Amino acid sequence: MRYSDDVLSPGWRHADKPKTVDVTVSVGMVVEEPTSGFCGAVVRWENGLVVLEDRKGARRSFEFGPGFWLDGRPVALRQPVATRPSAPTHTASGSRVGPSEPAKVAAASRIYVEGRHDAELVEKIWGDDLRHVGVVVEPLGGINDLPAIVTEFAPGPGRRLGVLVDHLVTGSKESRIVAEISSDFVLVTGHPFVDIWAAVRPQRLGLERWPDIPRDIEWKAGASVALRRTARNPAEIAATWAWILGRVRDWRDLDPALPREVERLIDFVTTDLG
């Protein structure tokens, strides 16, 4: 009579033992390390170690590899394969990302904005778009000298000038100055906000709405207080702006009045670019 199993065949000692299989860890997976008797859920992994936490909250770290049990079966724990983050498909302004191109020489056309904070916000949202067309954004500094600045710029075909003005509303000082500008190659537009800070949606900053600041208080200082930040000197106000700018992710964090006018300016200054 022949036995069904040949005890002399290779591997007969392990014939009934379960084989260890590779398992990729995930947060919450419950495994046991039988040598120590520690059983716990995976909470994280780092530097070649997996961290387990038992039901009492105690944590222990173990090296990846074999020697663990999962659902009554021996396993070798493996780290997840790191994947590269997918490339963005759209810029912060909402434009579709095109193929990579060599850097372009700056065009003669320019966009001027009223102040450094304005320039930084425009750069954050529209910087990729502007670099794509080679248009440079420069801070204007102040609106009072705008007619002289336009004359010095000498706008013309292929040398267009777009200007973004704060608080451009009917009857304001800004509107009267802008009325002095007359050129087919200059577009002056603006937004209704007293300061570019207020173009950021207040809800993004933890406010229901931007506060009404009394005229005898500098607007940025009053806004800083509303944001529960100090404004005792220019450095603290600059820090508040850096915090605000850091909360802005893309065009959706802005009041639509600003993107509408910035995009008008970009379209205008790129009209006759080759």
Structural domains in the chain (count): 2
Indicate whether 14 belongs to any domain: no
Mean pLDDT of the chain: 86
Q: Are residues 167 and 262 in the same domain?
A: yes
Predicted local distance difference test score (pLDDT) of residue 240: 94
* 24: phi then psi, degrees, rounded to nearest 5: -80, 130
Residue ending a domain, choose from 38, 62, 78: 78
In this predicted structure, the answer to whether residue 166 has a pLDDT above a threshold of 70 is yes
Percent of the chain with pLDDT over 70: 89
Indicate whether 238 belongs to any domain: no
Predicted local distance difference test score (pLDDT) of residue 91: 82
Higher pLDDT, 91 or 273: 91
Confidence of residue 241 (pLDDT cuts 50, 70, 90): very high
In this predicted structure, the answer to whether residue 24 has a pLDDT above a threshold of 70 is yes
Predicted local distance difference test score (pLDDT) of residue 15: 55
CATH number where 176 lies: 3.40.50
Indicate whether 189 belongs to any domain: yes
**Virtual torsion, Cα 63, 69, 73, 79, nearest 10 deg:** -40
E-assigned strand segments in 135-178: 136-139, 161-165
pLDDT in tens, 179-230: 888 889 999 998 889 899 999 999 999 999 999 999 889 999 999 999 999 9
Predicted local distance difference test score (pLDDT) of residue 258: 94
Dist CA 186 CA 206 (whole Å): 38
In this predicted structure, the answer to whether residue 1 has a pLDDT above a threshold of 50 is no
In this predicted structure, the answer to whether residue 139 has a pLDDT above a threshold of 90 is no
Q: Is 131 exposed, middle or buried (0-12, 13-18, 19+ CB in 10 A)?
A: middle
In this predicted structure, the answer to whether residue 171 has a pLDDT above a threshold of 90 is no
Q: Are residues 263 and 152 in the same domain?
A: yes
Residue ending a domain, choose from 31, 63, 78: 78
Higher pLDDT, 3 or 106: 106
Higher pLDDT, 126 or 95: 126
Percent of the chain with pLDDT over 90: 52
Dist CA 20 CA 66 (whole Å): 7
Instruction: Report yes or no on whether pTM surpasses 0.75.
Output: no
CATH number where 51 lies: 2.30.30
Predicted local distance difference test score (pLDDT) of residue 107: 85
Indicate whether 169 belongs to any domain: yes
- For residues 156-177, give the mean pLDDT: 86
Predicted local distance difference test score (pLDDT) of residue 100: 63
Residue 62: give the domain boundaries.
21-78
